[in-house]
Amino acid sequence: MHESKMFHVPDMDCASCVSNIEKDVGEMKGVHEISVNFAAEKAQVSYDSDVVKPDDIIKRIKDSGYTAFLVEEDKGKEMKHGGMDHADMDHADHAQVESRKEIKSKLYKVIFGAVLSILLLVMSFAIDLPNEGMLMLIITAVILLYTDRDFFVRGIPSFILKGRPNMDTLVSLGVSAAFIYSSYVVLFTEPPHEEYFMDAAIISTFIMFGRYLEAKAKGSAGEAIKELLELSAKVAHKIVGQNKTEDVPIDQVQKGDELMVKPGEKIPVDGVIVEGQAVIDESMVTGESIPVDKKGNDKVIGATVNGNTSFTMKAENVGKETMLAQIVKLVEQAQMSKAPIQKLVDKVANYFVWGVLLIAIVTFSGWYFGMGLEPSRAIIYTVSVLIIACPCALGLATPISIVVGSGKGASMGILVKKADSLEKIKKITTICFDKTGTITEAKPKVTDFVVYEVPEKAADGFILDGTSPVEKDKYEEKLAQYIASLEYKSEHPLAKAVVDYSEKKNFKLLDAKNVEAVTGKGIFGVVGGSEVVIGNKEFLESKKVMRCAELDEKSEKLSEDGKTVLFFAIDGKQRGILALQDKEKPSSKKAIELLHKAGIKTVMMTGDNEKVANSIAKEVCIYEVFAKVTPAGKVEKIKELKEKGEFVAMVGDGINDAPALATADVGIAMGTGTDIAIESGDIVLVKGDLMKAVEAIELSHATLRNIKQNLFWAFIYNSVGIPVAALGLLNPMFSAVAMAFSSVSVVLNALRLKRFKAK
């Protein structure tokens, strides 16, 4: 059985660690795929559970020289924290505890190494002691055994036993060279001695200090998921009787429970208001800073904050079904994925350490054999080369920016599902928009209800309770009742508008049977023993319904006013038309204007008629419109644009948009839409606001710019530092300082993305 598990690996030190783990675990029988993220300190493994178990994977990672812990989803336990179950939270907490322990361990090693290094410094320059060389040898050995132990444990065996040198190999070889040479001089030569114990000790301490700072900075970069988890409420006020509530943990809330939400509290789970009204701050989930007014039947989101009134809600989504849980899942998914540019960096990193070792050998040979320099100086120049090389900066450059950028996006209501989406967005030349629910609010209202003619007596097959002659009001009421009863079975926004219209008229809905909806065309079924058909002209024709010239003429006039027209027939006879009108979202026009300024072409594709489509398009300044387009037609239009050389994004929210979202180079799904549309999209806009699409493009540009800055400095640093060290122009201690802060500088640069603000 195919499974996918996440493993926490807290002690990776560079890009070669990533490569080693991916290679070792990837070679295991039953493992299908593995993706390791250096910045997030995690490994995602897909495997066949009948062949390999999580414990086997952990053992293989440990055999590679690293620590691993399973971050497991325990489906047998109840949910809690508005979206994470016991296991999720326990393992998330465990991972955080392990990371904190790792950081604290590094700090202790830095302090220990610093104290003894200062002692060596004093012994070298301030005081003279008997057997000073031997004493310095012992103190340095203690520093290496404690402060640098991990470098030797992971670096030397990986190189000697597996032929896979890494960053730890470079550090351990460099420090060992200085220590072994100095020990030889002290033990086997006459004073005065030219030893480098102090250099080895200070180098070790500085490198560990750099690792400590890097770990702290990485922890700050990966706080997005932790912050999201902390948003959730811990307790819900469950209504257990009239005017009686009971406080229960979130993990005990079930679907259908009625909950009381008090002023200023976090909403416990996703649901719908059943009594009262509220002003809710949804900024932590949607990125929208303005509080939203809510009333009866309006949906509310778990973890958002209630205003100054209390209300009663019914729980609809609990545990991992809540929006917060889905956001956490998507952020983790994005952070574990790799951008295309990272693949190139990984290839470079695989050869980088071997290249440095070769340069170190050439450096020693050149100075000692070529230039005739004494061994001590040749060794110290070689140590400088080994110490200053920093594959860590290369390994961190891309993933750390992805981690911070995706986390920032989540706080803005922009969910990036894969890292490569951030890279692709920048290439967009054309954006195609669905109309309903994307450009418009998807809250159409019935504006006109037009009946063709009122029969003089009850129509055959369409019973009017035997009323004869037929009263106009009762006839129209009966028509609306049948139409609404059928549309009640549909999830289309237009169907909801028809149902809302009937509810305002207090019509009682009837049971509809044999209902079938044809996407983009209409719906038909049996209501009260009569066959009911609702849809566009072509759909009614396909059902052998005769066209009515008078209704066609009326529909033309309504369409010219920018209204959507639905034709309906009962028992094969066209009975009338419904006109509905939607309005564009307040931000749509501004968003499209900004896209035009950025040089991006905009296109509207809708199943609605030309006049309605052109009316909305004119309002929002879209100049290319394709109307009456089926879901398959949208796919074809996108393919045509791609064949012309356009890099196409599709923005939509409905089931009929899913194929187009999947076909486009970048699919942008409205978070207010259907689950299938969200699954098909590469990016999800939680608020369903087109301005968020513009912000997503800006965030993409900022993240890619940040990645390129990191890569530039990482490559420049190594390109300049290594030759300078090889030429003997850099003291090993300065090399250690430079190497220690190179990775930190990359992480700090990535952290600037936390301050990103859309222009």
448 Cβ partners below 8 Å, 6+ apart?
558, 563, 577, 578, 579
434 is catalytic: yes
Look at residue 462 and tell me whether its pLDDT is greater than 80: no
Q: Would the CA dihedral through 289, 293, 296, 297 be positive or negative? A: negative
Question: Under a CB-based contact definition with an 8 Å cutoff, are residues 287 and 698 in contact?
Answer: no
What is the mean pLDDT of the segment spanning 287-312? 85
Q: How confident is the model at residue 463, as a pLDDT?
A: 57
- Residues making up the chain, counted from first to last: 759
Least confident of 293-302, 623-632, 659-668, 732-741: 732-741
What is the Cα gyration radius of the chain? 34
Tell me which of 722 and 71 has the higher pLDDT: 722
Amino acid at 155: G
Q: How confident is the model at residue 246, as a pLDDT?
A: 93
Look at residue 66 and tell me whether its pLDDT is greater than 90: no
Q: pLDDT by residue (tens digit) across 666-698?
A: 999 887 655 655 676 788 888 888 999 999 999
**pTM value surpassing 0.85:** no
Q: Which of 168, 346, 434, 689 is catalytic?
A: 434
pLDDT band at 287 (very low <50, low <70, confident <90, very high): low
pLDDT band at 207 (very low <50, low <70, confident <90, very high): confident
Helix (H) or strand (E) holding 445: strand 445-451
The closest alpha carbon to 402, from 709, 713, 753, belongs to 753
Question: Under a CB-based contact definition with an 8 Å cutoff, are residues 52 and 31 in contact?
Answer: yes
Look up residue 707 and give its two tokens.
């990645």
Look up residue 8 and give its two tokens.
């926490």
Between the alpha carbon of residue 177 and those of residues 386, 611, 649, the distances in Å are: 10, 80, 56
Q: Would the CA dihedral through 275, 277, 278, 283 be positive or negative? A: positive
Percent of the chain whose pLDDT exceeds 90:
32
Mean pLDDT of the chain: 84
pLDDT band at 138 (very low <50, low <70, confident <90, very high): very high
Q: How confident is the model at residue 95, as a pLDDT?
A: 58
What is the mean pLDDT of the segment spanning 569-588? 88
Percent of the chain whose pLDDT exceeds 70:
91
Give the ranges where 307-440 is alpha helix by DSSP (H). Answer: 323-336, 340-365, 375-388, 391-411, 419-425
Q: How confident is the model at residue 313, as a pLDDT?
A: 95
Q: pLDDT by residue (tens digit) across 94-126?
A: 556 667 787 888 899 999 999 999 999 898 887
Look up residue 185 and give its two tokens.
């001089």
Q: How confident is the model at residue 84, as a pLDDT?
A: 46
Q: How confident is the model at residue 520, as a pLDDT?
A: 73
Least confident of 175-184, 285-294, 646-655: 285-294
